[in-house]
Amino acid sequence: MKKWILTVLLTSLIVVSGCGAVQNQKTEGGNQQTVAEQEKNQETEQPKVNLEDIVYTPIDESKYEGMELEMIKLVNLHAKYVNERDHNNFKQIRQSPDVNLPNYKVMNFEILEFSNMKKTQGYVSVNMTYVGFESKVVESGIRNFFIAQNKETKKWFVKDVD
């Protein structure tokens, strides 16, 4: 008799704990996740940003001089033209009729370093914070602007961004 009662109790315990586990799962797109996993995923999702609310904070040009100043001016103009969707002026600072505006809005740039500086060219590396048009999520990444001076006009331009 004791064995029978013990067996019934253990079976009941297993059934009850199994049912509880099923209740703590939700199906989302065919994937089962526990409530705790879903709450964790929701915490890590970034809120969507309204693209109209983004305002670029320019780099303070008063901190630079000479060639570095010319480079910073172009980085600021790059952000301005990208955010304003000004394709004509964007092409002018790039000196290329084939270049397209990127699909993001710039929030800010943080200068990381100037490198490979020569008389008429150099690189400025920045950490760019931006919001993609499709994702509408704040992201950041390192961009390297290759900036050069036109030999004929002596005007500075953005040769490439990677």
Residue 70 clears pLDDT 70, i.e. is over it: yes
Q: What pTM, to 2 d.p., does this model score?
A: 0.70
Report the pLDDT value the prediction gives residue 22, as an integer from 0 to 100. 47
CA-to-CA dists, residue 28 to 6, 35, 36, 39, 162, angstroms: 38, 11, 14, 13, 38
In terms of CATH architecture, what is 51-161? Roll (3.10)
Other beta carbons less than 10 A from residue 128's beta carbon: 20
The domain limits of the chain are 2-44, 51-161
Residue 34 clears pLDDT 60, i.e. is over it: yes
Condensed to tens digits (0 to 9), the pLDDT of residues 1-16 reads: 556 555 656 566 565 5
Tokens of 97: 């009729």
Residue 118 clears pLDDT 50, i.e. is over it: yes
